[in-house]
Amino acid sequence: MNASDPLVRHVRAIFLSDIHLGTRGCQAEALLDFLRHHESDYLYLVGDIIDFWAMSRSIHWTPSQNTVVQKILRRARKGTRVIFIPGNHDEALREYTGTVFGDIELHREYIHQAADGRRYWLVHGDDFDQVTRHHRWVAILGDVAYNLLVSINSRLSWLRRTLGIAGYWSLAGYAKRKVKSAVSFIYDFEDSVMHEARAQGVDGVICGHIHAVSMRNEDGLTYMNCGDWVDSCTAIIEQIDGQFSIIDWGQELRTSGPRLALPAKEDTVKV
């Protein structure tokens, strides 16, 4: 597909985070399907794109994951401005912030100016996670546990399909929503990120890290989280007019299949 294809939608900017290339949980096929249907002037990779933490234990690199890297590099060569903000799982790349490789810019954080002139602070978000900052071994243990839930979930999905049970149910997502401490952590994280964004004098913040897609306005400040491509398969896009939307590509694939003729369902917030 290309930008002249009627099935390809051109947007101003795409924001992706927490792809976790190199792991079994990475939904590379779904991401490729999303990218085939969306072209953009800007492509932001908001951290944890490559999972060096998991790869230090074992590497799971599929042909589709390799194609994701190739597609991103190809877009950069063909004029899409690609900006990579490393997260904690690919923090080794933070040593190279301020440089360009393969036409991809590396930044520790970044300010994106939308079509309507509003300014959005882009940051992965691990600096606002007290567990990651001060108790790294707990974060690594939690990462192993999360990957186990994702692995179990893939088997449950296969069993549900085999039994003819309609719909999709995520064990990892259920755990995040129902465990009280996890819910409390998410709200604390969002409040901390928004507090810093307000101090910086920007109009909003776009981040990742917690695998919880979100978009909300609070007292004139917009908080957006890209979600992930392990469990939910979500992204944030900026449309040509400067309006932002959540794209739930995972839900679209579960209801429509991989060969889509229409854009995915969106949750839109006017900002």
Contacts of 8 (CB under 8 A, 6+ apart): 1, 2, 36, 37, 38, 39
* pLDDT the model gives residue 24: 87
269 DSSP assignment: E
CB 30 within 8 A of CB 253: yes
Smallest CA-to-CA distance from 227 within 5, 1, 34, 24 is with 34
pLDDT tens readout for residues 77-116: 999 999 999 999 999 999 999 999 989 999 999 999 999 9
* pLDDT the model gives residue 227: 95
Rounded CA-CA distance 226/43 in Å is 13
CB 86 within 8 A of CB 98: no
pLDDT tens readout for residues 239-250: 999 999 999 998
**Single pTM value for the model:** 0.79
* pLDDT the model gives residue 164: 61
* pLDDT the model gives residue 98: 94
Burial per residue of 185-207, b for 16 or more beta-carbon CB atoms within 10 angstroms, e otherwise: bbeebbeebbeebeeeebbbbbb
Smallest CA-to-CA distance from 50 within 14, 82, 84 is with 84
Per 3-state DSSP, the chain is made up of helix, strand and coil in percentages (nearest 5) of 40, 25, 40
From first to last of its 271 residues, the chain has per-residue pLDDT tens of 555 566 889 999 999 999 999 998 899 999 999 999 999 999 999 999 999 988 988 889 999 999 999 999 999 999 999 999 999 999 999 999 999 998 999 999 999 999 999 999 999 999 988 554 444 434 455 555 566 666 666 665 655 556 665 555 555 555 555 444 555 556 688 999 999 999 999 999 999 999 999 999 999 999 999 999 998 899 999 999 999 999 999 888 877 754 443 344 555 554 5
* pLDDT the model gives residue 231: 84
